[in-house]
Amino acid sequence: MSRISTDVAVIGGGVIGLAIALRLRADGREVVVIEPNEPGSGASYGNAGTIANYAVIPVGTPSILRNLFSLLVGANGPLSIRTSALPTLFPWLARFAYESLPHRYRENTRRIAELVSGAAAAWAEFAAQIGASELLSTKGCLYLYDTREAFSAAMTDIELRRGYGVDQEFLSGDEVLRLEPCLPPFEGGGLFFPGAISLSDPGEAMRRLSAAVRRAGVEFIQASAQEIERKSNGILITAAPFEICTRTAIISAGAHSQKLAAQIGDPVRLDTERGYHVEFDMAEPPIERPVCPTAHGFYLCPMQGRLRVAGLVELGGLTAPANPRLLQALAQNARRIFPEIGEPSRTWLGFRASMPDSVPVIRPSSGGRDVILAFGHGHVGLTLAPRTAQLVSAIVAA
């Protein structure tokens, strides 16, 4: 095998790994990134494009717990599970149920809120650094509630967000339509997050981030990290046909991180959320900002030359093929809002690293700071990339 020596090896070339590499290179570290695919081509590309500084509520809540069975067996619900994966998922689901209890839900909200605070400002600075400022939109994000009852049921989460300083504005149905006149009339109301920002093209943002990392002098190794172990002279990473010897390793391989963390003595209860999107090409999307019809658990995302419809989380591991029923459900959801939208131009399946408490793992390994864990960001990976890079930089410097 070819042997490479470096100061820092970042395992994973998604938005988290790339942001960490760029930050550590700015700190003066010699850095390599180990990534088998095109950097930024996974969930970092396929997301809703929202810098969700309002997303302090974990996936697991008391409401989700009360409706967990119906959600899991529902064919087209916002959360579904492949029954074939249930035996391996059971430990994760058991922990998820515990983390959905009221006292855990509130504690997890506190921890997430601490992380996402300041995310919009951090991303504005980050976008300028990578030459992507014009890809940022500052038009906020909108939640829709079909009925007044649904709006009332959301008040617990709304008040919890308010307690952490999240800027929220209540809108009547008419006020929603003045903001987004192409939406159909509806009985309920809206919740507007004016401080949220979004990306008009996440894929282009990832290309610019990758280019900025390369310009900074980071070396990319196109290989899959299979093994990591501590040696007397440092950390050895096997990524055939390479062996990488490094003083510090960062495990930021998203949904693929669990096995590597276990190899260095840090078993984590991480599993895979299979995220889907469909896209409809069009010259001008019919909305100006991300819109989430909360009853159906998906986002309508205006992007450059297309409308992306993202959502419908499926639990089921990394190897199963895409679920055509969920892709059809996303297209049907889009047609509920825009009946003349037609058929999707393309579809996508990607993988998120999901923790039962929705709180990402960002810390030194139990064996020391020579290995740092930075994964499990779930739905806020894009949002937290600059913040995670700051935290990892501080750990490396300590």
Q: What is the DSSP string of 58-94?
A: -S--HHHHHTHHHHHH-TTSSEEE-GGGHHHHHHHHH
State whether the Cα torsion 150-155-156-161 is positive or negative.
positive
pLDDT bin (cut points 50, 70, 90) of residue 153 is confident
Residue-level pLDDT at 397: 95
Check: CB of residue 306 under 8 Å from CB of residue 73.
no
Check whether domain 2-66+102-397 has CATH 3.40.50.620, yes or no = no
Residue-level pLDDT at 188: 86
pLDDT bin (cut points 50, 70, 90) of residue 317 is confident
Whether residue 20 is predicted with pLDDT greater than 70 in this model: the reply is yes
Residue-level pLDDT at 190: 95
Rounded (5°) CA angle 345-180-140: 90
Check: CB of residue 371 under 8 Å from CB of residue 365.
yes
pLDDT bin (cut points 50, 70, 90) of residue 348 is very high
Whether residue 63 is predicted with pLDDT greater than 90 in this model: the reply is no
Other beta carbons less than 10 A from residue 172's beta carbon = 11
Segment 18-42 shows an average pLDDT of 97
Segment 179-196 shows an average pLDDT of 93
Burial (Cβ within 10 Å: 0-12, 13-18, ≥19) of residue 124: middle
Q: What is the Rg, in whole angstroms, of the alpha carbon atoms belonging to the chain?
A: 21
Whether residue 13 is predicted with pLDDT greater than 60 in this model: the reply is yes
Check: CB of residue 28 under 8 Å from CB of residue 93.
no
Tokens 């499926």 correspond to what residue?
314
264-297 pLDDT per residue, tens: 999 999 999 999 999 999 999 999 999 999 988 8
223-238 pLDDT per residue, tens: 999 999 999 999 999 9
Total residues belonging to the chain = 398
Segment 68-85 shows an average pLDDT of 67
Q: What is the DSSP string of 337-376?
A: H-TT--S-SEEEEEEEEE-TTS--EEEEETTEEEEEEEE-
Percent of the chain surpassing pLDDT 90? 83
